[in-house]
């Protein structure tokens, strides 16, 4: 049973009429990688999570979006300079998001989005995509919503988008309210300039099961999922300690165990859900072997086969030698 629809929740915070104005510049939002993952919804309509999560943003890698008034008969969505078909699943989601704010007003829009996340890197763009779209909507309709409200509304487009309104370490509080207005993200003050994230591409093909269906399947069928909220709460608190004390070993260990625990719940679903490929497992063994030999590196993985390697700049040269094709990201800028 639906408690609140998105439209009902958003309407509380909007003026009676909107006054759209074409944007001259693009809004930008960074992508993010969760160190403590969001996995499982307590409300599928509002994307309210079962657990709180914590991520690190990917600095200049993300999405930029602008919205223009259009005199066409249909709305238009352009992704990386390509006009999408009206029934394209991304275009449908973007227009549904716009409709939460347009509320039947008589105008058409042209939404232009560009991702500078190399699509070939196998990184999700939905987080940065919906965060940039939220910022663009705020400007286009001149709503003047603060970042907390934007985080709550971006979450309705994609859960992880709530964290992409901010840079650095970001925590998304699960919240308790039925309308979800306390389920918002906020940045942590701490920085970690030496932190590096390496991307190991195993496959860039579209994943067969998207994260929404994957979460639903896990929550509905895996008894093992019952332990996940406990694991996530413990990991979140460890990550806070690791970040406050700049303890890289604790950060890496917690992030890796958190990701593997999430994947364990997926594997225990029915039908089983295994995003890994043979090359994913080979890369895990290589990381464990290098760690046994004294290198300090850990990995995390999302709902896909690619690995994101965590390390500090002191080990960068040696780790890059071991993984020559790995793309390295500096979440806090070059140090
Ligand atoms: O925001 P969604 O619906 O794409 O879900 C993201 C799920 C994970 O990437 C696996 C975890 C996370 O917290 O980002």
- Using most ligand atoms within 8 A of CB, pick from 41, 93, 156, 159 the residue to mutate for ligand 1: 159
**C-beta separation of 233 from 173 below 8 A:** no
Structure confidence at residue 203 (pLDDT): 87
User: pLDDT at position 39, please?
Assistant: 98
Is there an atom of ligand 1 within 6 Å of 303 CB?
Answer: yes
User: Is residue 158 within 6 Å of ligand 1 at its C-beta?
Assistant: yes
Residues 177 and 67 sit within 8 Å (Cβ to Cβ): no
pTM check: above 0.85? yes
Cα–Cα distance, 124 to 323 (Å, whole number): 21
- Looking at the domain that runs over 6-187, which CATH code has it been given? 3.30.230.10
C-beta separation of 301 from 263 below 8 A: yes
Q: Is 254 in contact with 35 (CB distance < 8 Å)?
A: yes
Predicted confidence at residue 17, as pLDDT, reads: 87
If one residue of 30, 35, 39 were mutated to test the ligand 1 pocket, choosing by the most ligand atoms within 8 A of its CB, it would be 39
| 160, 162, 274: residue to mutate for ligand 1 pocket, most atoms within 8 A of CB | 160
Q: Spell out the domain ranges in the chain.
A: 6-187, 195-329
Residue with the two structure tokens 């996940």 = 228
Strand, coil or helix: 55:
strand
Nearest atom of ligand 1 to the alpha carbon of 126: 4
**Digitized pLDDT (tens) for each residue of the chain, 335 residues in all:** 678 999 999 999 999 888 999 999 999 999 999 999 999 999 999 999 999 999 999 989 999 999 999 999 999 999 999 999 999 999 999 999 999 999 989 999 999 999 998 665 667 679 999 999 999 999 999 999 999 999 999 999 999 999 999 999 999 999 999 999 999 999 999 999 999 999 999 988 877 898 999 999 999 999 999 999 999 999 999 999 999 999 999 999 999 999 999 999 999 999 999 999 999 999 999 999 999 999 999 999 999 999 999 999 999 999 999 999 999 999 998 65
CATH number (3.40.50.2300, 3.40.50.720, 3.30.70.890, 3.40.50.1100) of 195-329 reads 3.30.70.890
Q: Kindly report the length of the chain.
A: 335
At CA 240, angle to CA 254 and CA 217, rounded to 5? 55
Confirm or reject: Cβ of 38 under 6 Å from ligand 1: yes
Look at residue 333 in the predicted model and tell me its pLDDT.
80
If one counts every other C-beta atom within 10 angstroms of the C-beta of residue 92, the result is: 14
Q: What are the pLDDT digits (tens) for 298-319?
A: 999 999 999 999 999 999 999 9
The pLDDT value given to residue 118: 67
Atom number in ligand 1 closest to CA 124? 4
SS3 percent helix, strand, coil of the chain, rounded to 5, is 40, 20, 40
Is 34 a pocket residue for ligand 1 (Cβ < 6 Å)?
A: yes
């Amino acid at each position: 049973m639906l408690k609140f629809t998105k439209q009902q929740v958003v309407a509380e915070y909007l003026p009676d009429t909107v006054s759209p104005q074409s944007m001259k510049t693009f809004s930008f939002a960074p992508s993010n990688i969760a160190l403590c993952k969001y996995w499982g919804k307590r409300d599928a309509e509002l994307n309210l999570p079962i657990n709180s999560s914590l991520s690190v943003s990917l600095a200049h890698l993300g999405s930029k979006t602008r919205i223009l008034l259009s005199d066409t008969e249909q709305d238009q969505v352009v992704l990386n300079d390509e006009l999408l078909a009206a029934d394209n699943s991304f275009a449908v989601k973007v227009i549904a998001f716009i409709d939460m704010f347009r509320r039947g007003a008589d105008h058409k829009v042209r939404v232009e989005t560009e991702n500078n996340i190399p699509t070939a890197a196998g990184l999700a763009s939905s987080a940065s995509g919906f965060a940039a779209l939220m910022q663009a909507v705020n400007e286009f309709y001149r709503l003047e919503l603060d970042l907390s409200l934007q985080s709550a509304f971006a979450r309705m487009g994609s859960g992880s988008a709530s964290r992409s309104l901010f840079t650095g370490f970001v925590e998304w509080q699960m919240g308790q309210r039925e309308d979800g207005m306390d389920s918002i993200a906020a940045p942590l003050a701490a920085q970690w300039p030496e932190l590096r994230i390496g991307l190991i591409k195993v496959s860039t093909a579209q994943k067969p099961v998207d994260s929404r269906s994957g979460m639903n399947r896990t929550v509905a069928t895996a008894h093992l999922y019952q332990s996940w909220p406990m694991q996530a709460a413990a990991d979140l608190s460890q990550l806070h300690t690791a970040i406050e004390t700049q303890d890289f070993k604790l950060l890496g260990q917690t992030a890796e165990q958190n990701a593997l625990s999430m994947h364990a719940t997926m594997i225990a679903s029915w039908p089983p859900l295994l995003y890994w490929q043979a090359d994913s497992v080979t890369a895990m063994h290589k990381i464990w072997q290098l760690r046994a030999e004294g290198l300090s590196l850990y990995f995390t993985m999302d709902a896909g086969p690619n690995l994101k390697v965590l390390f500090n700049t002191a080990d960068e040269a040696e780790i890059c030698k071991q993984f020559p094709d790995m793309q390295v990201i500096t979440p806090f800028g070059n140090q």
